[in-house]
Chains A and B, each alone.
Chain A
C-alpha cells in the first residue's frame, strides 16, 4: 500500500508521458531515418572535425606549436582575425540594434522593404560582395581616385577587411533581435516614457536588460561568422601574406603550398573557436528561451490574484 502511494506521488510529479500516437511511423522507418541522420552527421561533421585535430597534432604537440607561432605570417593572420572580427561585431551590434529598433518599434513607409533588404547579405554570394566593394573602393572604382587623392586605403587593407566582414555578417544580430523585440512588446518602454525616462535611460534601463541574452547570442553568432568569413575577404584582401591574410585565407594559402601540418594547425584554432562558440550559443539559446517562456507565463497569469 505504502509502495503504491509512493509510486502515485512520483508519477504525479513527473510530466505525463505522451500518449502513443496512432499515426506514428513503423519502427523500421524511424530507425532508418535516425540512422541516416547520424551517418550524415558523422561523415560530414564529426569525422572532418576530428580529422582536423588529428592532422594538426600528427607531428606532435611541439611541431603543432611551432607551426602556429614559428611562422610570423601565420601569427599575423591570427592577430588580424582577432582584430577584424571584433571590429566588425561592434559595428554590426550598433547597426543591428538600430535596425531592429526601427523595424520592431515603428511603422514607416518602406518598413517591409528594409526588412527584406536586411537579408540581402545572406542571399548574395560573398565573392560578389567582395567585387562590389572592389568596384566602389578599388583604384579603378567609383571612389578610387578620390580615395587615392586623400591617401585613404580601403581595399587591400584593414578597412576593406572590416567592411567586407561587416556586410556579410550584417543580418545576424538584426535577425536575432527583431522577433525578440516584437515578442517582448513595447509596454514596459511606454510605461518608462510615461514616467519621464529619456531615450538613453529608456535604452539602458529597460530595453537592454530585456534583450541582453538575445543580443549576446547574436553577437556570438556574428563573431563566429566574422572569424570564418572567406569569400568576400578573399576578394578585397589581395591576400598579402603578413599584411592582409586572415586565418581562413592563411589556411587556404598554407594548403596550396602543400604545408598540410601548418594549414591544419591554423584550422584547428578556428575549429576550437567554433566549438567554444557552439557551447556559448547553446547555453544562451536555452537562457533566452527560458526567459521568453517566463515572460509568457507571467503575462498569462497577469490576471490572477
Chain B
C-alpha cells in the first residue's frame, strides 16, 4: 500500500519539526528517513503512523485519507526504538497481542505466532520472557509483534539504534531479506547513512524539518542535490573559490562549470575522488604534505596538508596504489581531483 504525505506541518511550541513536507512512498518500498537529530524524521514517522497529529496537511494510505484516523484504527505495525515489549508477557503473548485485542480465535493466533517466530528465527523462544532475551532477539520479537496483525505499513523508529555494531550489521542484512520476502511497505528512521544506504530502496534526506533529497542510494550518492546532502554524506573535502564564465576557480584548480556564476562557490570532492601522484603530470594538482596515514580500513585513509593554501585534505587510496606509491608520513605529493561538484549557494550546516 502506497503512502502519500501532503504538505504536512508540525510545530512543538515555537520549534518547527516539519515545515510543509510532502513525500510519496510507493507500495512495497523500503524507504529510509535519514537526517541528523532534530531534522524531523521521527516526527514524520510518527505522523505517518498516527501517533502524532499534524498541524496542517494530510496523510493518505493509497487513496484513503487517514489524517483524522487514530493509530488504533490505522492498522500499522510500529517498531519502537527501545522495543517497548510488554515485560510481564511471554514472547508468545507479546507477538499475539495485536490479534488478541482483535478477538481472533485462539487457534488462529497460535498458528500465526508460530509462523512469525519462524520468520524472525526465534522458534523455541515462545515461552521466554523479554528479560531473558538479548537485544537483537528483543528487536526481532518487536518486529514480529508489529507484523502479527498483517499491517498495511510497517514503520520502524531507529530500529537498530540501541544495538551494538555487530548485531546491528546482522539485523540490517536480515531486515533487507525479510522485506524482500514479505513486501510490506516499510519506512524506517535512522541517523546512520551507511544503514540507510545499505537497507533501503529509497532514501529521504531530511534537515531542519524539510526534505533535502529523495532518491535511490545510488542517485543520492552520485548526484547529491545540494551542499547539505553532500556534506551530510561525509567523506568529503570542501574547497572555496569563485566562478567566472564557464569555469570555476578553486584555489589553483580550474574546473569546467557551464552556466554558473558567483563569487562565493564551494567545491566538494569525495575522498575517493582525489588521486595522489608522486610527480606533477601536467594536470592541475595541489602540492601537499602527508600528515597521517590510517591503514586500518578496506582503503587507506591519508590526511594531507596543502601548506600554500592552508587546506586540509582527506584522500582514500586503494591498497594497491598505496603499495605502489610507498607513501609515508611527511612525504610531499601532488593531489589531483577526478570529480568536482561545485555549489554556488551558500549554506549552513
Contacts and interface: CB of A to CB of B under 8 A. Distances in A.
B71 A192 contact: no
A191 B87 contact: no
B101 A305 contact: no
A188 B80 CA distance: 10
B97 A304 contact: no
Contacts of B149: 195-196
Nearest to B135: A305
A197 interface: yes
Contact of A298 (B102, B131, B134, B163): B131
A304 to B, nearest CB: 5
A197 B131 CA distance: 23
Contacts of A196: 72, 75, 98, 101-102, 149
Interface in A226-249: none
Given A302-B82, A304-B134, A198 B162 contact: no
Given A192-B86, A192-B97, A295-B87, A302 B162 contact: yes
A180 interface: no
A198 B88 contact: no
B88 A305 contact: no
Of B82, B85, B97, B98, most A-chain CB atoms within 10 Å:
B97
B164 interface: yes
Interface in B43-78: 49, 51, 71-72, 75-76, 78
B167 A305 contact: yes
Interface string B71-108: 11001101010111111100000000110111000000
B134 A195 contact: no
Interface in B160-175: 162-164, 166-167
Contacts of A188: 84-87
Interface stretch (A102-110, A204-212, A258-266, A278-286): A204-212
Contacts of A191: 78, 80, 84-86
Contact residues of A: prevailing secondary structure: helix
Contacts of A298: 87, 130-131
A191 B143 CA distance: 12
A67 B88 CA distance: 49
Contacts of B49: 194
B145 interface: yes
A301 B80 CA distance: 16
B136 interface: yes
A297 to B, nearest CB: 8
Given A190-B84, A194-B51, A304 B135 contact: yes
A256 interface: no
A201 interface: yes
B41 interface: no
Contacts of B100: 205
A294 interface: yes
B162 A197 contact: no
A294 B88 CA distance: 11
A302 B87 CA distance: 12
A299 B82 contact: yes
Given A194-B71, A209-B88, A305 B131 contact: no
Given A196-B98, A305-B135, A210 B88 contact: yes
A193 B78 CA distance: 10
A298 B83 CA distance: 12
Contact of B72 (A187, A197, A205, A301): A197
A171 B146 CA distance: 39
A303 interface: yes
B202 interface: no
A205 B134 CA distance: 24
Nearest to B102: A196
B101 A194 contact: no
Nearest to A303: B162
B77 to A, nearest CB: 8
Contacts of A193: 71-72
Contacts of B166: 305
Contact of A198 (B72, B98, B131, B135): B72
A95 B93 CA distance: 30
A187 B98 contact: no
Contacts of A295: 87
5 contacts: A194-B51, A195-B149, A299-B82, A302-B162, A305-B135
Interface of B: 49, 51, 71-72, 75-76, 78, 80, 82-88, 97-98, 100-102, 130-131, 134-136, 138, 145-146, 148-149, 162-164, 166-167
Interface of A: 187-188, 190-198, 201, 205-206, 209-210, 294-295, 298-299, 301-305
